[in-house]
Amino acid sequence: MSEFVDNLETVFSEFGSVSAKRMFGGYGIYHDGLMFGLVADDELYLKADSQSTSHFTDKGLAPFEYNKNGKSVKMSYYQAPEEIYDDSEVARQWAIIAFDAALRGRSQRKK
């Protein structure tokens, strides 16, 4: 794993244990078996949904995008704010926002 990904355990120490799994050239970031973040090119993105997207867009944070067959595809993950790397309480708050969005997404899939 990259040093960046390894450091996320420290970043989210106030939130709880996190793990990373390799996927599609990046990593999925998990807590309690649920993916709430992803890392691509040493950039962290956090899960968002209709209830939480404004937290990200109000701070000017961009969604994760990739190209598929020449078209740009946006995913429901947004850049993490830089301040999470300096303040573990801020990191915990953003992790809760992302994890709650992941929980809501899982609940909707079960319906």
pTM comes to 0.92
Confidence of residue 67 (pLDDT cuts 50, 70, 90): confident
pLDDT in tens, 35-55: 999 999 999 999 999 999 999
Q: What is the pLDDT of residues 79-95, one digit of tens each?
A: 999 999 999 999 999 99
Block residue for tokens 């939130």: 15
Percent of the chain with pLDDT over 70: 95
Structural domains in the chain plus CATH codes: 3-102 (3.30.1460.30)
The predicted pLDDT at position 24 comes to 83
Q: Which residues contact 88 (CB under 8 A, 6 or more apart)?
A: 11, 12, 13, 14
